[in-house]
A and B are shown apart, each in its own frame.
Chain A
Amino acid sequence: MSKVLLIEYDKCVGCKNCEMICSLVHEGTCSSRLSRIRVARDERAGWNIPVSCAMCEEPICVAVCPSGACGRDPNTGIIMIDSARCIGCRQCVMACPFGHANFDPLKKTAFKCDLCQGDPQCAKWCWTGAISYGPLEEWLAQKRQQLALKLHP
């Protein structure tokens, strides 16, 4: 998989637009708790951090799934949870080091980011530019360039 979801914390204003669009496209309703991406925020300290799936190369959520519901899609390379096979044991939720995998309070099964099958809506609807979707290499090159400009204005 070449493209990744890139998140720049310093651009996030905590509007939670991403949470709304995510839950809307996946669950048909706007609700933070049903969103794949979540924004952790502390207003007093003044930080907003969108947390989404890192699409680890060796995902711990897959390793701890005892039912085989959580796995990498062989075609797209995206790590997905098959809700029909999910037994709702919450192991992936508790194992994810980023607090990303999530649990649906109504269906009582786990869910996680599926990158909207290659067209992530959160990136599309993020108006601050905090979330973008593209090849990691390009993004790194850009960052290096920015740093260089800072050092030699």
Chain B
Amino acid sequence: MPKPNADSCHDSLVREHAIKTIVIIGNGAAANSAAETIRSYDPRIQVIMVARENVPEFSACALPDYLAGWVSRSQPFIKKPDDYANMGIEMHWGQSVQRIDPHTKTVATESETINYDSLIIATGSRAAVPALNGSGLRGNFVIKDVADIDAIIAHRPKHVLIVGSGNIGIEVAQALQERECKVTVIEQRERILPRIFDGEPAGRIAEILTSHGISIYTGESVVAIEGYQRVERAFTDKRAILCDTVVWAAGVRQNTELAESAGIELGKLGGISVDTGMRTNIASIFACGDCVESHDMLTGKATLSLLWTTAKDQGRIAGANSLGCKLVYPGALNLVVEDIYGQCAVSMGVNEGGLCNQDLEIFEGESEKGYWRLLVREDRIMGFQSLGITTGLGAIMALMKNRMPLRTVAKILSDQGMMRRADWYLPARPFLDRLKK
């Protein structure tokens, strides 16, 4: 939610007056955040959104909760169909953009051609399904929108195989377990949640999941799926598993084909390459959300963040800059919170793998509430993971954002007067006191 009159950008003198029409491709978190930002800055600019689907914005993060039956089907939707018109946004439903022409500044869908002054690409991502024997059979599912969940429920799954143990895989596993399915999770890497957690916390999470009856096999990959007309069993490189349903949660692919065909450069990791202002290599074209490759706030390295919060943040920057502002994106800071059977598992910043284990100091601790792990490099917090702990985490997140050297933090905490001024540091004390040597 951008604030009104927040910065010089709201001063219309700073912006470019030639910009009258902004076209946004997509209707996800990034696209909507961009549209709302543009509206909050200027009520007169024409904003056109083009989206493939016919439903208003929804949060994919609530899909596992809907699958489990914890929330109703309407809960994931965060906009109503007429919210767009009420905000003065022209919504072109059910149209997929086929072509972008940067020379004439137009985008073409199946049925129409739309002119733009600035274009924002927020085409997001799709679930990756490898071309295996049988991955086309009935009973193979991905989880991306509400209709996917409807389809899974209608399929009445009993024995489910989940491929991939990222945050989506783990959430879906718990949701289907709640639906009284027999759930098996297959992970190619040697531990679950490999991009998010390190070995120790991931092991503890896996323990909780298995104790609730979810089978987890790591270090295995699915090689084929078999069945007559529908999924009946799956083969990994080590075993055969009986199942009637396969859910693919093995990573996502960026929707970059459209951008690529218009001559927009991609980065090394496969996302659309953008600068710190969310601009692509072509003038007047911006990109944000899951489809872009941004940089990590802490390491400065290129990253595909693939998170809701990141998409919103980038949308805000792209929206403002599409008006001619000069906002700078500080980089993606990952934050994942998972509920593991009532225990709160949190990971923020980068994990060991993301830091390539270079000059890393690791501090671990355990209290009666739970386990935590702090990664430090060059006297600054680079990552934090915890299980079962809910207090003091916000302060750690903020210390990570303002990149305070821990030396300074310790100095402030050792002085009563300073400590009272920096009072929000205090809840994080249990983690920071361990750092004293």
Contacts and interface: CB of A to CB of B under 8 A. Distances in A.
Interface string A77-105: 00000011100100100110100000000
A122 interface: no
Contacts of B412: 60, 63
B114 interface: no
Q: B-side binding surface: helix, strand, loop or mixed?
A: helix
Most buried by A among B3, B398, B404, B421: B421
A66 B401 contact: yes
B5 interface: yes
Interface residues of A, number: 23
A65 B399 CA distance: 9
A107 interface: yes
Contact of A67 (B6, B401, B408): B401
B421 A64 contact: yes
Given A84-B7, A84-B327, A66 B398 contact: yes
Contacts of A95: 421-422
Interface string B391-418: 0000000100111100011011000001
B6 A68 contact: no
A63 B5 contact: no
Interface in A48-78: 58, 60, 62-68, 70-71
A32 interface: no
A104 to B, nearest CB: 9
B408 A64 contact: no
Contacts of A106: 5
B254 to A, nearest CB: 27
Given A68-B401, A68-B403, A83 B6 contact: yes
Contacts of A83: 6-8
A108 interface: yes
A63 B6 contact: no
A66 B404 CA distance: 10
B6 A84 contact: yes
Contacts of A107: 3, 5-7
B421 A65 contact: no
Contacts of B6: 83-84, 107-109
Contacts of B330: 68, 85
Interface band, chain B: 20 to 34
B70 interface: no
Contacts of A60: 412, 418, 421-422
B424 interface: yes
A88 B9 CA distance: 17
B402 A68 contact: yes
Interface in B1-60: 3, 5-9
A63 B408 contact: yes
Nearest to A58: B408
A64 B408 CA distance: 11
B344 interface: no
Contacts of A91: 424
Nearest to A83: B7
Contacts of A97: 421
B328 interface: yes
Nearest to A67: B401
A108 B9 CA distance: 15
28 contacts: A58-B411, A60-B412, A60-B421, A60-B422, A63-B404, A63-B409, A63-B412, A63-B422, A64-B421, A64-B422, A64-B424, A66-B398, A66-B402, A67-B401, A68-B330, A68-B403, A71-B402, A83-B7, A83-B8, A84-B6, A84-B7, A84-B327, A85-B330, A91-B424, A94-B421, A107-B5, A108-B3, A108-B6
Q: List the 8 closest pairs (A to B, CB-CB), nearest first.
A: A66-B398, A95-B421, A68-B402, A84-B7, A68-B401, A83-B7, A64-B422, A107-B5
Given A83-B7, A83-B8, A107-B6, 11 more contacts: A60-B421, A64-B421, A66-B402, A67-B401, A67-B402, A70-B402, A83-B6, A84-B6, A84-B7, A107-B7, A108-B5
